């Protein structure tokens, strides 16, 4: 099959012919229909986060099941599925207490003594996020897929696989936004727009979008933002405070920077909650002012929107088909696999929400 293979940091990926193994007892072979190009892929491509090389990137995807292993009963060939990097074992403490997105059990991956899922000329290729969707097929554990209704367009379904679930889930699960509350979202890329959408679905009375790109602020209004703040036009925290009664109940950081994480905390009202969704680079330290804790302000992280993806994603599909979840507006461009490097680099400009790779 054809795949975009990442071999060296900041070096364009070549489309190569690689081998994919047959499904093991609990594995599923999926024909990739669509894959979103996400900032998480960019973080590894540009070296912000370290990773094993060579590797096939990609993790935000949807497709059709082609084969299943002997012990798989959840899906069958022909089923439409969304993939999720929150692969769960189903029996560890995190899974049993409903925190499946935190599961890190190694059994969902092949061990070092097993044949690799992906290889080229006998040499193994690493699998990104247990998925590797920048390829025509994916070989994954059965607990990394969820069945969805067949009237859901797969190019939009792919977005639910990461960015949408991360942003919407951060609002409705991690932070549990209350109806009538005030919300600020810093960063209006795919995840930030989804956090805005999630806050609206949760019933927030006011949602303030913060970004430096005017086109993204315009897009944020389509996703439900009631107010916008130009981050390049002065003190962001003060602008948010001026729009609210001394700060917001909930803030979300969807960029992954020290400075914006600190802003998210500072723009809270007393008793408010800041949720950091963005991938802050390793080694970066976030500084907070001690007296703020006496005002019962809180800060937390969110992993993939604290999802229970086999429950959440079919519901998000229903929300989209009911007009409540805005996915059409999120797609900046539809591209071929050969354009994946350009799509990654376009994310650095801050001008695009999501490019989606379509496979024939």
Residue 284 has pLDDT above 80, yes or no: yes
Q: Are residues 180 and 237 in the same domain?
A: yes
Res. 189 pLDDT band, cuts 50 70 90: very high
User: What is the reported pLDDT for 310?
Assistant: 97
Q: How many CB atoms lie within 10 A of CB 249?
A: 23
Residue 89 forms part of a structural domain: yes
Res. 141 pLDDT band, cuts 50 70 90: very high
Query: Where in the chain does DSSP place strands (E)?
Result: 2-6, 14-17, 19-20, 27-37, 55-56, 60-68, 80-83, 118-120, 123-127, 137-141, 145-147, 182-186, 206-211, 227-230, 248-253, 268-276, 298-301, 331-335, 354-358
User: What is the reported pLDDT for 215?
Assistant: 92
Q: Read off the pLDDT of each residue in 253-263 and give the average, rounded to a whole number.
A: 96
Last residue of a domain, one of 258, 277, 301: 301
Domains held by the chain: number: 2
Q: What is the CATH number of the domain that holds 117?
A: 3.90.180.10
Question: Residue 26, class by beta-carbon neighbours within 10 Å (0-12 exposed, 13-18 middle, 19+ buried)?
Answer: middle
Residue 352 has pLDDT above 90, yes or no: no
Helices 236-243 and 258-266 cross at an angle (nearest 10°) of 30
pTM for this entry: 0.95
Domain limits for position 182: 176-301
Q: Are residues 235 and 139 in the same domain?
A: no
Q: Are residues 31 and 129 in the same domain?
A: yes
Write the pLDDT tens digit of every residue in 301-321: 999 999 999 999 999 999 999
Output the DSSP codes for 147-183.
E--TTS-HHHHHHIIIIIHHHHHIIIIIS-PPTT-EE
Average pLDDT in the chain: 96
Residue 171 forms part of a structural domain: no
Q: What is the CATH number of the domain that holds 261?
A: 3.40.50.720
Q: Are residues 189 and 270 in the same domain?
A: yes
Residue 170 forms part of a structural domain: no
Residue 190 forms part of a structural domain: yes
Among 209, 179, 182, residue whose Cα is nearest residue 194: 209
CA-CA distance, 169 to 101, in Å (whole number)? Answer: 11
Q: Are residues 119 and 138 in the same domain?
A: yes
CA-CA distance, 231 to 250, in Å (whole number)? Answer: 18
Tokens of 302: 């969110």
Q: How many CB atoms lie within 10 A of CB 115?
A: 11
Cβ–Cβ under 8 Å, residues 70 and 87: no
User: What is the reported pLDDT for 348?
Assistant: 83
Write the pLDDT tens digit of every residue in 45-86: 999 998 899 999 999 999 999 999 999 999 999 999 999 999
**What's the number of CA atoms in the CB half-sphere (13 Å) around residue 263?**
25
């Amino acid at each position: 099959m054809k795949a975009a293979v990442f071999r060296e940091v900041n070096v364009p990926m070549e489309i190569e012919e690689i081998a994919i193994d047959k499904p093991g007892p609990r594995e599923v072979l999926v024909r990739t229909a669509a894959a979103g190009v996400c900032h998480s892929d960019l973080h590894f491509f540009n070296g912000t986060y370290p990773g094993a090389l060579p590797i096939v990137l990609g993790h935000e995807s949807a497709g059709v099941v082609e084969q299943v292993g002997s012990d798989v009963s959840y899906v069958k060939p022909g089923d439409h599925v969304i993939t999720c990097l929150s692969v769960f074992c189903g029996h560890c403490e995190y899974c049993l207490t409903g925190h499946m997105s935190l599961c890190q059990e190694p059994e969902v991956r092949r061990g070092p003594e097993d044949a690799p899922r992906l290889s080229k000329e006998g040499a193994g290729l690493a699998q990104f996020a247990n998925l590797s969707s920048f390829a025509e097929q994916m070989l994954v554990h059965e607990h990394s897929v969820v069945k969805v209704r067949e009237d859901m367009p797969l190019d939009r379904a792919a977005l639910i696989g990461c960015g949408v679930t991360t942003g919407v889930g951060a609002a409705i699960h991690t932070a549990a936004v209350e109806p009538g509350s005030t919300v600020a979202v810093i960063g209006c890329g795919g995840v930030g727009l989804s956090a805005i959408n999630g806050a609206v679905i949760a019933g927030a009375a006011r949602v303030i979008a913060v970004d430096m790109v005017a086109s993204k602020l315009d897009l944020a209004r389509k996703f439900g933002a009631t107010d916008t703040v130009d981050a390049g036009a002065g003190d962001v925290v003060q602008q948010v405070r001026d729009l609210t009664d001394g700060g917001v109940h909930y803030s979300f950081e969807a960029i992954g920077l020290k400075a914006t994480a600190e802003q998210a905390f500072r723009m809270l009202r007393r008793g408010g909650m800041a949720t950091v969704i963005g991938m802050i680079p390793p080694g970066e330290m976030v500084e907070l002012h001690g007296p703020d804790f006496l005002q019962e302000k809180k800060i937390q992280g969110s992993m993939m929107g604290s999802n229970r993806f086999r429950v959440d994603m079919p519901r998000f599909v229903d929300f989209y088909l009911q007009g409540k979840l805005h996915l059409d507006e999120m797609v900046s461009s539809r591209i071929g696999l050969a354009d994946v490097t350009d799509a990654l680099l376009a994310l650095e400009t801050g001008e695009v929400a999501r490019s989606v790779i379509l496979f024939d």
